[in-house]
A and B are shown apart, each in its own frame.
Chain A
Amino acid sequence: MIEMMNANHAAAHAARLARVDVAAVYPITPQTTISEKLADMVEKGEMDAKFMLMESEHSAMSALIGASYVGARTFTATSSQGLALMHEMLMWAVGARRPIVMPVTARAIGGPWNIWGEHQDVITERDTGWLQIFCENNQEVLDTVLMAYRVAEDPEVMLPIMVIEDGFILSHTVDNVDIPTQEQVDRFLPPFKPEYPVDVDRPMRHGGLMMPDWWTEFRYLIYQSQEVARGKLLEAEKAFEEIFGRSYGGMMEYYKCEDADAILVVAGSAAGTAKEVADRYREEGKKVGVARLRVFRPFPSEEVRRLGEMARTIGVFDRSYTFGDGGAMFNEVRSALQPMDSIIKDYVSGLGGRDVTVKYMEWIFDDLLRIAAEGKVDRTVEWVGLKDGTERW
């Protein structure tokens, strides 16, 4: 059934359809309407879940870890400061192997205060072991939450997953969303059956002190599960397409990348803008492509290397800046392309809610084509849209 809604409500519907058992929430802009929609659905009896109003995001994640241990399917949503506050428990959720699914409305982290869309908060959590999937539009958010439960709860994975919506851009703008039926989702998502539940009939200790003699091996198991998750994500998408008729290109969506002179790697809603510009440029004979990076963790190294085969010049769009030798996404793409003879440049833009306009994208593609022609990069990082008095954009 197609309805007009924003990504937050789409995510809330997905939680309802996934038959989430326990949702523990705490408000933060721009995620709050997810909690409000859940509250509404629970109140009306449309959703049969234990709805917990927690006293902080840290407590929200903690409560879900406890609930998940007992065998409940769990859900929360957060952003920015809240995500940062739960950092410790994000790491605990991975170590405890809890398949929690959490939409994050990606937003800048203060100070000073900024409540608008950017990827800094989720990029900062890339070290935790959570799987991270960036969505381009509202439909994808709903669909990805459903696919995430299937992948997360797979006994070979058992890792939590972050479903990323660009703050305000997706969370608050309205689009057509096809809400699947409960019957369809029940066919797609089996019930959650953990292998080692907290159970008085089978007592054990969960998450107890681990000495140096075995810690490495348990971390290795997490690494293995992240690797296995690659295949599981593709399987889940295939099964999803069979029931719901939609798919998203797997780990990385290649858009007009064949026979390209330059390709821009971009995650999130800005990919939509990039695709629009790429369409027009292709009509004008300029051979550009867009590689939408969908899954950031596990990192799609193979898919990035395939890009390197398609074009020599690769631009990477970073909607955050982590103060390394270039931004985070740039560094990971560059690292994957290392065996190849690629020319790579970092474009940092869209921070703190700054609109990534068609003009910015045109500037980036023009710059990439120039680099492709010259065969070399002028500088590693370009802050696109920076008010530097040059009137370039």
Chain B
Amino acid sequence: MYKTYKDLPAEPVASQSTEDVMTGTWRTIRPVLNQDKCIRCYMCWKFCPDMSMTVEKEGDYPSVDLDHCKGCGICSNECPRGAIKMVREIL
């Protein structure tokens, strides 16, 4: 998008989203959700610092956004039913 100084806005303003930064490449462990145990309380969605445990609408099971999940494990720790296991990534 920006090739030379002539393409730049006159002020240092940023307006592109960070969504194309693939922070998923950071992780060494990955959450795996077991839907049989999941009670759809949405604690995992609530506590994800990376908005990477996504739920389309109420009633859906959550799913992991593997492009962005950093593998912090909060979702696994907070799940009241132990429905999320952290699994080693294949590096």
Which chain A residues have a beta carbon within 8 Å of chain B's beta carbons?
A: 95-97, 155, 158, 195-196, 203-208, 210, 214, 217-218, 220-221, 225
Chain B nearest CB, measured from A362 CB (Å): 49
Beyond A214-B2, A220-B5, A221-B5, whether A207 also contacts B12 by CB under 8 A is yes
Closest chain A residue to B9 by CB distance? A196
Closest chain B residue to A194 by CB distance? B11
How long is the Cα–Cα vector from A158 to B11 in the complex, in angstroms?
A: 9
CB pair B8 A204 closer than 8 Å: no
- How many interface contacts (CB-CB < 8 Å) are there between A and B? 43
How long is the Cα–Cα vector from A70 to B11 in the complex, in angstroms?
A: 14
Interface residues of B in 1-55 (CB under 8 A from A): 2, 4-5, 8-15
How long is the Cα–Cα vector from A314 to B10 in the complex, in angstroms?
A: 39
CB pair A218 B13 closer than 8 Å: no
Beyond A217-B5, A221-B5, whether A204 also contacts B14 by CB under 8 A is yes
- The main secondary structure of chain B at its interface with chain A is loop
Cβ of A95: which chain B residues have Cβ within 8 Å of it? 12
Chain A nearest CB, measured from B5 CB (Å): 4
Chain B nearest CB, measured from A267 CB (Å): 30
Cβ of A158: which chain B residues have Cβ within 8 Å of it? 10-11
Closest chain A residue to B4 by CB distance? A217
How long is the Cα–Cα vector from A214 to B9 in the complex, in angstroms?
A: 12
Chain A nearest CB, measured from B25 CB (Å): 19
Cβ of B8: which chain A residues have Cβ within 8 Å of it? 214, 217-218, 221
Chain A nearest CB, measured from B2 CB (Å): 7
Chain B nearest CB, measured from A157 CB (Å): 10
How long is the Cα–Cα vector from A208 to B35 in the complex, in angstroms?
A: 41
How long is the Cα–Cα vector from A17 to B85 in the complex, in angstroms?
A: 68
Beyond A96-B12, A217-B4, 4 additional contacts (C-beta under 8 Å) are A97-B10, A158-B11, A210-B12, A217-B5
CB pair A195 B5 closer than 8 Å: no
Cβ of A208: which chain B residues have Cβ within 8 Å of it? 12, 14
Beyond A214-B2, A217-B5, A221-B5, whether A204 also contacts B10 by CB under 8 A is no
Cβ of A217: which chain B residues have Cβ within 8 Å of it? 4-5, 8
Cβ of B2: which chain A residues have Cβ within 8 Å of it? 214
CB pair A195 B10 closer than 8 Å: yes
Cβ of B10: which chain A residues have Cβ within 8 Å of it? 97, 155, 158, 195-196, 221, 225
CB pair B15 A205 closer than 8 Å: yes
CB pair B11 A196 closer than 8 Å: yes
Closest chain B residue to A213 by CB distance? B2
How long is the Cα–Cα vector from A80 to B4 in the complex, in angstroms?
A: 39
Cβ of B11: which chain A residues have Cβ within 8 Å of it? 96-97, 158, 195-196, 206
Closest chain A residue to B14 by CB distance? A205
How long is the Cα–Cα vector from A195 to B11 in the complex, in angstroms?
A: 9
Cβ-neighbour of A206 out of B4, B5, B12 (below 8 A): B12
